[in-house]
Amino acid sequence: MINRRHVRETVLKSLYAIKQSKDTVQYITDSIIKEELGTEKEARRFAEQLFFKTLENEPELDEVIIKHIKNWEIQRLALIDRLILKMSLCEFLYFDEIPTKVTINEAIEIAKKYSTAKSGRFVNGILDASLEDLSKSDRISKKGRGLIDHTVK
């Protein structure tokens, strides 16, 4: 059983390293992801998928964030908060097997641990608004038991 929280924290550190250093993606992958997760194949695979998908889709993820930060510029957001939001949005859009509630809860806990006291609430608000918006435009596609919350009317 992989510890997904640890994997997400490792991906956050990797994304932060990419933004703050001049190191290559390969060097970051080797020195952080492989170093932290070692021989845990499933954990490393999830970490690398989340890391590369987040980087690959950054412009699209930024657009979603920008849409929900009223009267604020994305560059003014704390880098850690921005990276947590991007990772979470990436999970919403590209990881069909992860329930959105799990993604949001993980993001809040990671924000509380690595960012400011107010970051958990901020991240929660942006992710809730983004999820509602992405759901309305049919961009969220979750598969499997317990992954979709549909209320019966």
**How do residues 101-115 score in pLDDT, each as one tens digit?**
999 999 999 999 999
**pLDDT value of position 152:** 34
C-alpha to C-alpha distances, 126 to 85, 88, 117, nearest whole angstrom: 8, 10, 16
List the chain domain ranges. 1-56, 57-140
Output DSSP code: residue 69.
S
Q: Look over the chain and give the mean of its residue pLDDT values, rounded to a whole number.
A: 91
Q: Does domain 57-140 have CATH number 1.10.940.10?
A: yes
Residue 115 near residue 84 (C-beta atoms within 8 A): yes
